[in-house]
Structure 1
Amino acid sequence: MLMPRDAQDLRQIVADAAANGTRLELRGGGTKAGFGAPRDAGIMSLGALSGVIDYDPAELVLTVRAGTPLADVQALVAAEGQMLAFEPWGEPGATIGGTVAAGVAGSRRVTAGSARDHLLGLTAISGRGEMFVAGAKVVKNVTGYDLPKLMAGSWGRLGAMTELTLKVLPRPRQTVTMVAEGLSLPAAYAAMACALGSNADVSAAAYVPGGEMLLRVAGFAPSVEARCAVLPGLLAGHCALRLLPDAVAAPLWRRAMTGADLRGSVRWDVHLPPRHAAGLIDALRPLGIDWAMDWGGGRIWIALDRLDETVRDEAARLGGDARLVEAPADMRASVPAFHPRQPGVAALEQRVRRAFDPADIFVTGRFREDADADQLFA
């Protein structure tokens, strides 16, 4: 395993790989190594590129090295009464660079946005072995192309991020969960849509099997109390609400946010229009699925033991897409991790990728669309 000591060391390793035709897999904490097809490529760990470069709580801006553990970043900003707005999550060992590169966002994403919305700037090494800087340490920066938005969610296919500048936000003084129980899927969707569209400023909405619909209300204590008092009346035509103790709410939110503890050897992450969430679950029930719903119905985790693409087919039928998150190696080798793109979109994506990595240094076989890119330009 290659372990560059700093950005210049990393740049030299990538440049040497480009000259020798070597392929490199970028890795932070390795917590997402099971995503994508099995592959045989040299591993380059960015774990040594760790530490805080600059943090100005008054300006709500944080600059850190990509290999900094996510838990350390969260603890740092929490000590200042702040937070990463997109509510990232990860297994122990996850890094901030890997989290942003994977586009990880939690339940608050439905109202606060994703990682790409809070990545202000970055420094990275392209597949050419060249260092580039994008964005700036300010919230408003519209000059040129918005490369931070391109790098967030790129899974290390465009380059190796070495530094990230993130916008942080004040942490809510109080956060409470309200729950409605015994709701059907259509009733839960209607209630979540009503809550998220109301003036009660609900920051997250989820639904888990058993009929429990969760609503999160956060902010200053008097505001939270007032909004929690108003919500039952706003949703009176949909359901009855009650406060849920934090100790009970926390594992339910984790299940909805991460798909953790779902039963099944295959796990899918489905994104689709929330109004179709109930239809997807109903269509897949005969397969014996376990599931959890977040983002007001916009994200559904599906777990089952079926080794085919039925989940992806049903998601596409309803205007959504499905990523294969976890599966046995044989299935990951034959089923693409990402939902297949339309030919025009796939060709554009590959042109962008090759602008950063013309020698395919970061093409490891993890993603089929990269390995098969030559067919798009034949």
Structure 2
Amino acid sequence: MVPSNEDELAKIVRDASGPLAVSGGGTRGVSVEGQKLATSGLSGITLYEPGALTLVVKAGTPLAEVEAALAAEGQRLAFEPSDLRTLMGSDGTPTIGGVVATNASGPRRIQVGASRDHLLGVRFVDGSGHIVKNGGRVMKNVTGYDLVKLMAGSHGTLGVMTEVSLKVLPIPQATATVHVAGLDDAQAVAAMSAALGSPYDVTGAACIDGTVMVRLEGFADSVDYRARRLAAELGVFGPATVEEADWQSLRDCTAYADRPGDVWRVSVRPSAMPDTVAALRAGGDVTVTADWGGGLLWVLCAPNRDLRRDIAGGHATRVRGADDPAIPRFHPEPATNAALAAGLRQRFDPRGILNAGVMG
């Protein structure tokens, strides 16, 4: 089912007699039982005010269309949403609603925050078929449920988004990346932490195969100055150079695309990265790429291995791999969090028909 407007969507949900498998472009490899319900028919930019850095867009609008419209005005989605089609071997078209529903956020999260931090307002249809609106077109405090933040990362379990309002930002004039090679995990974390604690306004800090990459963005003269200063300061960890880097590949984890095995996202405290990586390696052969200053680990491992048994603290989500009831996709929640989540689902989807089982 592909409704073409919000009222049609509300009727479909209201009249549903069984589970609904809600999706945007279907590019992230999540399999859900139920009648398929796609939001791709809800497409188009409702309002775009470049001067106010504000965009209102229907949830099924292709991400590429949104990015093209912003780029034409010298602007962008600052949170750098990932496109996992290459990694997942999937087709389809990523949608802005799918981006928000999964809270998809790339390397720039360490500076500007996640997708939810740029979400100003939402419209959605809840599990009873009611149309709900929350937020607006400017940042403001709210009382009661902050549904704007709640819907981001809910994976369609609380409601089917129909429209989102987003804050956007200008595209920087220049970009530079400082590289420091030949580091072990502890040295890499120390180097990334030093960069993030510097006054040079870092917008990306990652480590691939022992090479730390630190990104700077802004006006050309400023970027040049900051890159030279940062390279000099990071020189205490090893020879530092300023070179181009493929941040899009890091964002989309394309290095693992043609390699067999399962792929996981492991979130930990950056200071815990060395011990976490050591524990993962002790449990079997793994390949690890670190982002967010060491706070996010992309891990490639053998199929059907539950990495959660090998990590202490943090949480892990299986991004790619065969469905296995014994290894849930999402990290099991503590009892208190699970009770809160169940209460929210009961409030917004009392029949339990929206993407049932996706998040436990």
Tell whether the 8 Å contact from 1:188 to 1:213 is kept in structure 2 after alignment: yes
How many Å separate the matches in 1 of 2:81 and 2:242? 25
How many Å separate the matches in 2 of 1:43 and 1:146? 28
How many Å separate the matches in 1 of 2:342 and 2:79? 28
CA deviation after TM superposition for structure 1 residue 170, in Å: 1.1
1:146-169 Cα offsets, whole Å, 9 max, x none, are: 211000000000000000000001
1:111-146 Cα offsets, whole Å, 9 max, x none, are: 110011000001100001000100011123434432
The counterpart of 1:284, out of the listed 280, 283, 288, is: 280
| Matched residue, 1:373 | none
Partner of 2:265, secondary structure, is strand
| Matched residue, 1:375 | none
How many Å separate the matches in 2 of 1:138 and 1:214? 34
Mapping of residues 213-228 of structure 1, within 5 Å: 213-228=212-227
| Matched residue, 2:332 | 340
How many Å separate the matches in 2 of 1:346 and 1:226? 48
Partner of 1:236, secondary structure, is helix
Which sections of structure 2, spanning at least 5 residues, go unmatched? 86-91
Mapping of residues 1-40 of structure 1, within 5 Å: 2-17=1-16, 20=17, 22-32=18-28, 34-35=29-30, 38-40=31-33
Partner of 1:227, secondary structure, is helix
Which sections of structure 1, spanning at least 5 residues, go unmatched? 370-378
1:85-127 Cα offsets, whole Å, 9 max, x none, are: 1111213611000011011100000111001100000110000
1:274-298 Cα offsets, whole Å, 9 max, x none, are: 1111112122224111221100100
Alpha-carbon spacing, 1:208–1:290, altered in 2? closer, same or farther (3 Å): same
| Matched residue, 1:354 | 346
**Corresponding position: 1:323 with 2:317:** yes
Which residue identity is paired with 1:337?
R
1:186-245 Cα offsets, whole Å, 9 max, x none, are: 111100000001001111100011x21101000011111110121123223223211113
How many Å separate the matches in 2 of 1:70 and 1:239? 39
**Corresponding position: 1:314 with 2:310:** yes
How many Å separate the matches in 2 of 1:320 and 1:363? 25
Which is helix-richer, 1 or 2? 1
1:329-360 Cα offsets, whole Å, 9 max, x none, are: 3x2x3311111111111011110111000011
How many Å separate the matches in 2 of 1:12 and 1:39? 21
CA deviation after TM superposition for structure 1 residue 363, in Å: 4.2
Which residue identity is paired with 1:347?
A
| Matched residue, 2:229 | 230
How many Å separate the matches in 2 of 1:350 and 1:118? 26
Partner of 1:334, secondary structure, is coil
CA deviation after TM superposition for structure 1 residue 185, in Å: 1.1
| Matched residue, 1:258 | 252
Which residue identity is paired with 2:131?
M
TM superposition outliers: structure 1 runs of 4+ over 4 Å: none
**Corresponding position: 1:156 with 2:156:** yes
How many Å separate the matches in 2 of 1:212 and 1:71? 31
Tell whether the 8 Å contact from 1:28 to 1:94 is kept in structure 2 after alignment: yes
How many Å separate the matches in 2 of 1:48 and 1:306? 36
Q: CA RMSD in A?
A: 1.4
| Matched residue, 2:293 | 296
What is the aligned residue count?
350
| Matched residue, 1:177 | 177
Partner of 1:186, secondary structure, is helix
How many Å separate the matches in 2 of 1:110 and 1:227? 18
Identity fraction in percent: 41
| Matched residue, 1:136 | 136
Tell whether the 8 Å contact from 2:231 to 2:240 is kept in structure 1 after alignment: yes
CA deviation after TM superposition for structure 1 residue 312, in Å: 1.2
Which residue identity is paired with 1:28?
G
Alpha-carbon spacing, 1:347–1:366, altered in 2? closer, same or farther (3 Å): same
**Corresponding position: 1:187 with 2:187:** yes
**Corresponding position: 1:47 with 2:43:** no
